[in-house]
């Protein structure tokens, strides 16, 4: 029996908190740093003025060319005419929005635009991913670099030149495509004059032009994959295809989800210049989209309808914003990756 004042020999001393194990100098330094007030914005700008100077030009460009033009959106709610000006023109409310929704062109334009964009998204979105995965697994560096150069090069060809190439290649009389078809005993085909072929030509010529450059983002994401993962998978007997599926593909999923969200947000916007250049009177049934329709009634018609064209453009932008928010919400909930 031990007395009340005695202590056991095997009793361990209680652990001291982390702060108690610090030296007095370290504790004083921590108190000084905690008491130091945060730097004001003016002081931060003076200390890092070079960085803020570099940021100023993009912000000025954004304000002038992206935000200031939004002032003109109000003509969508006015019966605008050049003589009276924006503020002098009478308000008409939702008149032009109702006119567009009730017009016979509405469903045709929506169908053509959505179908063309969805077709392009489904057909071309996986191609850069597949190309990046293949280039990442190639062992011969000279072959990988040559393939990258060949696939990147079309991106630097202007849209006008690409459409010119398409017109020349598909010409019913002298085009290479019809020459090849003629070898099999078939007659010439007017590719651009066939409304049913317009979407296919538009989508796959775009895939040829953009696939290589779009793969750059995925190749950059693949550089973050630790080589040790591949080495361990090789030791475990994983094939190259298995390593691509279980190691490389999960590494680029967050990037792919973000790009998919952005593409969904622009579902009512397609390549205006390319569509307009490929249009003719024979393929308008499928080639007329919202962007080209706005251009024709707003600028190219004998009597420009500025307010009506602006209302259609604003309608398209609002729908795109709603789709962007919805796509981002679903991606954050199910894919755990989002823009915000």
The first and second tokens of residue 326, run together, are: 């919805």
pLDDT at site 331:
82
Report d(CA 46, CA 52) in Å as an integer: 9
Which of 138, 204, 137 minimizes the C-alpha distance to 170?
A: 204
Q: Where in the chain is the domain with CATH 1.10.3720.10?
A: 98-335
pLDDT at site 165:
94
Contacts with 253 (C-beta within 8 Å, 6 or more apart), sequence order: 335, 337
Which of 245, 254, 241, 248 minimizes the C-alpha distance to 227?
A: 248
User: Which value, to the nearest 10 degrees, does the dihedral of the CA atoms of residues 294, 299, 304, 307 take?
Assistant: 50
pLDDT at site 7:
41
Render 82-97 in DSSP notation, one character per residue: TTTHHHHSPB-TTHHH
**How far is CA 96 from each of CA 99, 288, 289, rounded to the nearest angstrom?**
5, 20, 18
pLDDT at site 199:
93
Report d(CA 101, CA 59) in Å as an integer: 36
Three-class secondary structure of residue 258 per DSSP: helix
**Residues written for the chain:** 340
Report d(CA 150, CA 91) in Å as an integer: 55
pLDDT tens digits, 249-270: 988 988 998 888 888 888 888 8
Report d(CA 131, CA 121) in Å as an integer: 16
φ/ψ of 91, rounded to 5, equals -75, 140
Classify burial at 120, counting beta carbons within 10 Å of its beta carbon; exposed 0-12, middle 13-18, buried 19 or more.
buried
pLDDT tens digits, 177-220: 989 988 888 888 889 998 899 999 999 999 999 999 999 999 99
Three-class secondary structure of residue 181 per DSSP: helix
Domain 98-335 belongs in CATH node 1.10.600.10: no
| Count of Cβ atoms closer than 10 Å to residue 187 Cβ | 8
Which of 247, 240, 265, 285 minimizes the C-alpha distance to 330?
A: 265
pLDDT at site 12:
47
Query: Helices 306-330 and 95-102, interaxial angle, to 10°?
Result: 80
Residue ranges for the chain with pLDDT beneath 50: 1-20, 32, 34-35
Contacts with 77 (C-beta within 8 Å, 6 or more apart), sequence order: 91, 92, 93, 94, 96, 311
Contact between 286 and 294 (Cβ < 8 Å): no
Establish how many alpha carbons lie within 13 A of residue 18's alpha carbon, considering only the half-sphere containing its beta carbon: 0
Compute the 3-state secondary structure of the chain and give helix, strand, coil in percent, each to the nearest 5. 70, 0, 25
Residue owning tokens 């504790």 = 27
pLDDT at site 173:
87
Q: pTM of the predicted model, to two decimals?
A: 0.79
| Count of Cβ atoms closer than 10 Å to residue 328 Cβ | 20
Contact between 217 and 263 (Cβ < 8 Å): no
Hey, which residues does 91 pair with through a beta bridge? Answer: 78
């Amino acid at each position: 029996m031990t007395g009340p004042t005695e202590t056991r020999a095997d009793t361990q001393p209680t652990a001291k908190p982390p702060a108690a194990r610090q030296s007095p100098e370290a504790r004083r330094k921590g108190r000084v740093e905690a008491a130091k007030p945060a730097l004001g914005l003016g002081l931060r700008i003076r200390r890092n003025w070079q960085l803020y100077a570099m940021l100023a030009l993009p912000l000025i460009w954004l304000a002038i060319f992206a935000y200031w033009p939004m002032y003109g959106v109000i003509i969508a709610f006015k019966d605008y005419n050049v003589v009276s000006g924006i503020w002098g023109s009478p308000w008409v409310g939702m008149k032009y929005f109702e006119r567009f929704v009730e017009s016979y062109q509405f469903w045709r334009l929506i169908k053509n635009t959505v179908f063309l964009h969805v077709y392009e998204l489904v057909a071309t979105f996986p191609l850069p991913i597949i190309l990046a995965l293949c280039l990442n697994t190639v062992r011969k560096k000279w072959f990988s670099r040559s393939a990258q150069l060949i696939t990147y090069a079309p991106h630097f060809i202007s849209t006008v030149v690409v459409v010119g190439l398409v017109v020349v290649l598909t010409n019913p009389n002298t085009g290479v495509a019809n020459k090849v078809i003629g070898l099999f005993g078939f007659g010439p085909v007017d590719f651009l004059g066939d409304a049913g072929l317009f979407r296919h030509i538009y989508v796959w010529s775009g895939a040829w032009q953009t696939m290589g450059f779009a793969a750059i983002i995925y190749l950059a994401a693949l550089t973050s994959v630790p080589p040790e993962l591949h080495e361990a998978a090789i030791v475990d007997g994983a094939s190259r295809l298995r390593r691509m599926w279980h190691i490389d593909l999960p590494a680029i999923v967050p990037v792919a989800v973000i790009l998919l969200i952005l593409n969904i947000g622009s579902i009512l916007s397609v390549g205006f210049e390319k569509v307009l250049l490929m249009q003719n009177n024979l393929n308008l049934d499928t080639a007329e989209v919202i962007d080209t329709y706005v251009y024709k009634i707003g600028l190219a018609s004998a009597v420009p309808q500025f307010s009506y064209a602006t209302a259609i453009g604003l309608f398209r932008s609002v729908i795109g914003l709603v789709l962007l928010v919805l796509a981002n919400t679903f991606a954050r909930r199910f894919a755990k990756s989002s823009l915000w």
